[in-house]
């Protein structure tokens, strides 16, 4: 099966930029998933993969006419930052105070960022998309997020 277009189940500007820079043609479709559907049990890799898989399940897949073919590749992903020393997970800040709290944690020690991905191949069969194959994985990086004290208010 030949795939000429990736379906990205994410509105993340950074993921879209990565695909553009890699010259991978894609379209985006929204998901109706919430991170609250996944429960963090201490295994960050399993957690981010679970979130990516929940996103995959919540996608409204486009009709096969959009592709002019009866198969497609779909990618979903989610990233979570963790402060390893306290095991605190950092999501999107709720407000400026929450952002300040996160920034303080980030300034204390290195942070772990982990991204979970779910890649599925679908084939149109009858009148619906059927899952053919699936690959899930996670990748991580340790980051030092150093913002000098005099730049904290500017950053926030």
Q: What local confidence, expressed as pLDDT, does residue 2 receive?
A: 60
Q: Which residue from 120, 39, 119, 121 is spatially nearest to 80, judged by alpha carbons?
A: 39
pLDDT tens per residue across span 14-30: 899 999 999 999 999 98
pLDDT tens per residue across span 124-149: 988 899 999 999 999 999 988 777 77
pLDDT tens per residue across span 31-81: 887 766 788 888 999 999 999 999 999 998 888 876 667 889 999 999 999
Distance (Å, rounded) from C-alpha 78 to C-alpha 117? Answer: 7
- For residue 13, give the 3-state DSSP assignment: helix
Distance (Å, rounded) from C-alpha 146 to C-alpha 155? Answer: 11
Name, in order, each residue with C-beta under 8 angstroms of 6's C-beta and a sequence gap of 6 or more: 19, 24, 25, 26, 27, 73, 74, 75
Residue 1 confidence (pLDDT) above 60 = no
DSSP assignments along 43-107, one per residue: -HHHHHHHHHHHHHHT--PPPGGGTTSSEEEEEEEEEEEEETTTTEEE-S-SSHHHHHHHHHHHH
Indicate the helix (H) or strand (E) that contains 108. helix 96-108
pLDDT tens per residue across span 83-111: 888 888 888 888 988 888 888 888 778 89
Q: What local confidence, expressed as pLDDT, does residue 21 receive?
A: 96
> Which pTM value belongs to this model?
0.84
């Amino acid at each position: 099966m030949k795939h000429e277009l990736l379906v990205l189940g994410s509105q993340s500007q950074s993921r879209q930029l990565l695909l553009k820079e890699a010259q991978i043609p894609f379209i985006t479709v929204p998901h109706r998933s919430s991170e609250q559907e996944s429960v963090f049990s201490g295994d960050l890799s399993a957690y981010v993969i679970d979130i990516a898989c929940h996103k995959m399940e919540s996608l409204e897949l486009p009709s096969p006419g959009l592709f002019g073919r009866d198969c497609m590749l779909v990618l979903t992903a989610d990233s979570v930052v963790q402060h390893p020393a306290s095991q605190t997970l950092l999501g999107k800040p709720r407000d400026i105070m929450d952002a300040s709290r996160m920034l303080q944690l980030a300034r204390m020690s290195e942070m772990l960022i982990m991204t979970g991905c779910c890649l599925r191949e679908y084939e149109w069969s009858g009148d619906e998309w059927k899952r053919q194959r699936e690959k899930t994985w996670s990748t991580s990086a340790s980051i030092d997020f150093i913002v000098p004290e005099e730049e904290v208010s500017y950053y926030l």
